[in-house]
Amino acid sequence: MTDDFDSPFDDDPWDFPDEGSELVRPRTEPLPLDLALAQAWDMRYVIEGELLRRDFYRFVKAAWPVIEPGTTFIDNWHIAAICQHLEAVTRGEILRLIINIPPRFAKSTLVSVLWPAWVWLQRPSAKFLTASYAKELATRDAVNARRLMESTWYRQRFGHLFEFTSDQNVKTRYQNDKYGYRVVTSVESGGTGEGGDFLTVDDPINAKEANTELGCYNAVLWWSETMSTRYNDPKTSAAVIVMQRLAANDLTGYLLAQGGWDHLCLPMRYEVPTAGHPRLLRTSLGFDDPRTVEGELLCPQRYDEAATARLETELGEYGAAAQLGQRPNPRSGAMFKPDLIRVLDVLPAEPIEWVRAWDLAASEQKPGSEPAWTVGLKLGRRPSGRFIIADVQRLRGLPDAVEAAITSTARSDGVKCPIDLPQDPGQAGKSQVLYYVNQLAGYILHYSPESGSKVTRAQPVASQMNAGNFDMVTGPWNHALKNELRSFPNTGFKDQVDALSRAFARLAGVEVSTGMLDHYRNKAAALLASKIGPRPASTGI
């Protein structure tokens, strides 16, 4: 640990000099009582300050009455766990940390107020860039941290380590005389020219905007194109993101999919891991959730069973699963219940009616972008009437790569497996279909425009899956498919569900209704036909 404290002693602050050294002048007369008491009191601050400087958890408990006067500090294992991981970030042992925890469990106080004030006891020169979804919230925490550092309690114990500069001491940017600073920014304010040794993001998404694609997209775009470029040293600078989960495609979901982040996940209720539904909660420090009983509360002294049940009712099933359980959808699934799928080690040796359905995209993945996937799902209908998913092909690529994937997969499936493609509206869609008709000569090719919403198209297949009428062959694609099913329709990507819906509609002969829109469209067509006669049948594609 780096120590910027200029001490007259050796590197070890407890290695006091001998009585005969120049630093200790022997006295022939006793000190006056008031001076002796004063020096003893000062030494108490020195000793206590050194103990607090070495231990963030101890610092949190000691500083709590200063920042939360009149509020009782409720100690719990989750506070110690957060402190342990923030200490590891300070030491450079963790460079990327995500903390997911329900609201009102002191996450902002720990991460955005107390931790920066403690880091400056180790490295007064450390530079912080701190953010939230709104600049007012990030400013509030920066001000509270500065008030702590300007308090009598803090200055008595640590005032010799640094002083605030008078020319850089405003709410949104303050600096100390060791050139450490804290700068405030936000998702809504966009870019900043500042950088940091420590980047902290506390609640990047407003809960009111989490159910909109735009709310999550803006936070992800802000991180990937702005905040992620603000590290002062890409090799040693660190980032800490603390938030409650709000949606499958929120910033946590995006970053966990990228990989490389330590994930400290602290749900309100403990979920016992199962083979079909694992929760990998161990961090690089070896931390495991200490709870063992299904449904055990995070901190019953803070939220007991009655208070938790009341909050779960108020939030509703999906809100509670995300904000409290840190699982953006209920364990059983939102629209689909993929845990009811029976997994088979090998394909059954029986006649199966097959179809390979595709959901098409033509976007190449680039840094900072998350384009849609092209998905080809092979679905079969067994003699028993059960459905079986045998394979999922999933790629991101330009049109040439998509075309190559469709043709090579068709050769692999064989000519007896029909292919079902979506037809885009307009002449471009017709031209695309004609192209694939020529490319896949000899194969059974179906094509049709999409009708209705993705949710409407998925309802028939969801009914069969939730009735336990689905099998799936073991494969490396199982986990991604189950995750998308479990999160649908609130997931960021719906390509696999779309392909599954199309395949099921082909095998089951399902005509998906588009609801009231089609009802009025059909009424208008009937009225028109009654006046001018029926419309001639189309002779083209």
- Most confidently modeled range among 9-13, 108-112, 316-320, 446-450: 108-112
pLDDT band at residue 43 using 50, 70 and 90 as cut-offs? confident
| Strand 419-422, strand 387-395: pairing | unpaired
More confident site: 472 or 491 = 472
Same-domain pairing of 343 and 477: yes
Q: Is 225 helix (H, G, I), strand (E, B) or coil?
A: helix
Token pair, residue 76, equals 């719990």
What are the Cα distances from residue 374, in Å, to 76, 287, 358, 392, 402? 47, 38, 7, 10, 7
- Best CA proximity match to 432, nearest among 496, 361, 507, 497: 361
- Cα separation of 156 and 151, whole Å? 9
Q: Is residue 5 part of a domain?
A: no
Task: State pTM to two decimals.
Answer: 0.62
- Cα separation of 428 and 431, whole Å? 5
Q: Is residue 444 part of a domain?
A: yes
**What per-residue confidence (pLDDT) applies to 538?**
34
**What per-residue confidence (pLDDT) applies to 19?**
41
- Best CA proximity match to 308, nearest among 268, 266, 272: 268
Choose one of 324, 350, 374: the last residue of a domain. 324
pLDDT higher than 80, residue 369? no
Which residues have CB under 8 Å from 439's CB, separation 6+? 403, 407
Q: Is residue 433 part of a domain?
A: yes
- Best CA proximity match to 121, nearest among 143, 88, 83, 149: 149
Q: Is residue 31 part of a domain?
A: no
Same-domain pairing of 343 and 320: no
Token pair, residue 346, equals 């090998």
What are the Cα distances from residue 264, in Å, to 110, 242, 330, 432? 14, 9, 20, 47
Across the strands, what pairs with 343? Answer: 472
Q: Is residue 217 part of a domain?
A: yes
Average pLDDT over residues 450-458: 82
Same-domain pairing of 151 and 62: yes
What are the Cα distances from residue 166, in Å, to 121, 140, 206, 441? 20, 20, 34, 78
CA atoms within 13 A on the CB side of 126: 28
Range of the domain at 204: 50-324
Q: What CATH number does the domain containing 206 carry?
A: 3.40.50.300
- Best CA proximity match to 496, nearest among 513, 515, 479: 479
- Cα separation of 425 and 99, whole Å? 44
pLDDT digits (tens, 9 = 90+) for 310-325: 999 888 877 888 899 9
| pLDDT mean across residues, the chain | 84
Q: What CATH number does the domain containing 459 carry?
A: 3.30.420.240
pLDDT digits (tens, 9 = 90+) for 133-169: 999 999 999 999 999 999 999 999 999 999 999 888 8
pLDDT higher than 60, residue 223? yes
- Best CA proximity match to 227, nearest among 173, 186, 256, 261: 186
pLDDT higher than 70, residue 345? yes
Q: Per 3-state DSSP, what percentage of the chain is helix, strand, and coil (rounded to 5)?
A: 40, 15, 45
- Cα separation of 204 and 131, whole Å? 8
**What per-residue confidence (pLDDT) applies to 34?**
61
Structurally, how many domains does the chain consist of?
2
Token pair, residue 403, equals 């075309």
**What per-residue confidence (pLDDT) applies to 161?**
95
Q: Is residue 416 part of a domain?
A: yes
Token pair, residue 214, equals 């735009």
Same-domain pairing of 345 and 255: no
CA atoms within 13 A on the CB side of 72: 5
Say if CB 127 and CB 181 are below 8 A apart: yes
- Best CA proximity match to 60, nearest among 29, 83, 92: 83
- Best CA proximity match to 202, nearest among 329, 66, 103: 103
Choose one of 258, 293, 324: the last residue of a domain. 324
Same-domain pairing of 293 and 418: no
Same-domain pairing of 277 and 349: no
**What per-residue confidence (pLDDT) applies to 18?**
45
Single-letter amino acid code for the residue at 82: I
CB atoms inside a 10 Å sphere around CB 332: 15
- Cα separation of 5 and 28, whole Å? 31
- Best CA proximity match to 99, nearest among 343, 238, 215, 264: 264
Same-domain pairing of 202 and 347: no
pLDDT band at residue 530 using 50, 70 and 90 as cut-offs? low
For the chain, the first-to-last Cα distance in angstroms comes to: 72
Q: Is residue 19 part of a domain?
A: no
- Cα separation of 469 and 337, whole Å? 11
Single-letter amino acid code for the residue at 90: T
DSSP string computed for 64-122:
HHHHSTTS-----HHHHHHHHHHHHHHTTS-SEEEEE--TTSSHHIIIIIIHHHHHHHH
More confident site: 18 or 440 = 440
Cis preceding-peptide flag for 489 (omega within 30 of 0): yes
pLDDT higher than 50, residue 276? no
pLDDT higher than 90, residue 269? yes
Phi/psi at 325 (nearest 5 deg)? Answer: -80, -10
Q: Is residue 27 part of a domain?
A: no
pLDDT higher than 60, residue 11? no
Same-domain pairing of 293 and 398: no
- Most confidently modeled range among 183-187, 276-280, 424-428: 183-187
- Cα separation of 129 and 438, whole Å? 57
Same-domain pairing of 266 and 386: no
- Most confidently modeled range among 167-176, 237-246, 485-494, 513-522: 237-246
- Cα separation of 465 and 488, whole Å? 13
DSSP 385: S
What are the Cα distances from residue 532, in Å, to 47, 519, 526, 529? 96, 20, 10, 5
- Best CA proximity match to 298, nearest among 138, 74, 498: 74
pLDDT higher than 70, residue 469? yes
pLDDT higher than 90, residue 99? yes
Same-domain pairing of 317 and 429: no
**CA 501: distance to chain centroid?**
27
Same-domain pairing of 121 and 254: yes
| Strand 164-170, strand 445-448: pairing | unpaired
- Cα separation of 267 and 323, whole Å? 9
Same-domain pairing of 75 and 206: yes
Choose one of 324, 350, 381: the last residue of a domain. 324
CB atoms inside a 10 Å sphere around CB 40: 10
